[in-house]
């Protein structure tokens, strides 16, 4: 039996990987947290995380939603076909939690428990930076 460290190689779609994991090539539970944020944004916006058909400023879903958040136009990211047929408070919550999970500082990303409390309106929306840089 061999004892010692095992090396785990990253495998997955780049747009679902947090930037710090791509550069370090280390697998961690933070990858799941980041990925959940991307998926939450995809659900709310009804589009893929990378959409080459859009102009450069909208091609990356995460960057585009951060930009709208910074301009205080977050609800403009919601699926346009919904028109106004959604609860604005719930949509703002989902989009904000999605951004929280993809926070540029990995140490400020929430735990699943924290996010669930916010999604259940048991805790306030987090204060996020107005830019993902």
> Rounded to an integer, what distance in angstroms lies between the CA atom of residue 7 and that of residue 69?
38
**43 closest CA partner among 93, 7, 3:** 93
Instruction: Give mean pLDDT in consecutive 10-residue pieces for the chain, a chain of 133 residues.
Output: 47 55 58 87 88 74 94 92 83 96 91 94 95 77
The pLDDT of residue 59 = 75
Q: Which CATH number fits domain 21-119: 3.90.480.20, 3.40.50.360, 1.10.510.10, 3.40.109.10?
A: 1.10.510.10
The pLDDT of residue 11 = 45
> Rounded to an integer, what distance in angstroms lies between the CA atom of residue 10 and that of residue 16?
12
> Rounded to an integer, what distance in angstroms lies between the CA atom of residue 17 and that of residue 102?
10
CA 74 to chain centre: 13
Give domain limits for the chain.
21-119
Under a CB-based contact definition with an 8 Å cutoff, are residues 97 and 38 in contact? no
Under a CB-based contact definition with an 8 Å cutoff, are residues 101 and 43 in contact? no
Q: Is 101 helix (H, G, I), strand (E, B) or coil?
A: helix
**33 closest CA partner among 92, 115, 131, 96:** 115
The pLDDT of residue 108 = 92
């Amino acid at each position: 039996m061999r004892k010692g460290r095992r090396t785990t190689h990253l495998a997955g779609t780049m747009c679902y990987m947090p930037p710090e994991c791509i550069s370090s090539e280390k697998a961690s539970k933070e990858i799941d947290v980041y990925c959940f944020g991307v998926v939450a944004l995809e659900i709310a916006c009804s589009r893929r995380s990378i959409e080459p058909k859009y102009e450069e400023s909208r091609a990356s879903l995460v960057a585009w939603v951060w930009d709208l958040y910074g301009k205080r136009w977050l609800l403009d990211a919601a699926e346009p076909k919904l028109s106004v047929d959604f609860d604005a408070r719930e949509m703002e919550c989902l989009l904000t939690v999605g951004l929280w999970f993809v926070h540029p500082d990995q140490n400020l990303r929430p735990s699943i428990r924290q996010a669930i409390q916010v999604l259940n309106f048991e805790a306030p929306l987090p204060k996020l930076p107005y830019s993902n840089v």
